[in-house]
Amino acid sequence: MAIVGSVREPNLEAILRLKPDLILVPANFSAVFYDKLAKIAPTIQPKGSSLDMPWQDLSRVYAQALDQEAELDLQLNKISAALQSYRQQQAAPLNVSVLRWNPQGPIIMSSQLFAGQMLREAGLHKL
């Protein structure tokens, strides 16, 4: 898969060269770039904020756009079973934090983002 910039700064020329049939963007994507991408190809963006929606709901928006809801349901069931198995194996919940390194230094990721949601579903406690 070609790298076409970042979420904050997509390379519109690179995206245009790929001639996409469909573009998927995150819920918190820039309205300015959304409008430009929508001129290149149909562009799907979940409504609301990624902080307000469980990751499963965000995934469903994309699965619907790709006509892959049955596959998503299968994968969600597998993930749910794996998380349940993990929780049952833990004697006591672990305390964890997810850090991300930026050019300005490390930051602690929100527990409302995907990684934090997954850790919570695994029965882990965020510090």
For 35-77, what is each residue's pLDDT tens digit? 999 999 999 999 987 777 899 999 999 999 999 999 999 999 9
Question: 90: which 2 tokens?
Answer: 């833990």
User: Kind of pairing, strands 125-126 and 95-96?
Assistant: parallel
- Residue 110 — very low, low, confident or very high, per pLDDT cuts 50/70/90? confident
Report, as an integer, the average pLDDT of 100-113.
Answer: 89
Which tokens in the block code for residue 47?
A: 């409504």
* Greater pLDDT, 10 or 126: 10
Which pLDDT score, from 0 to 100, does residue 88 have? 92
pLDDT, tens digit (0-9, with 9 covering 90-100), for 2-35: 889 888 899 999 999 999 999 999 988 999 999 9
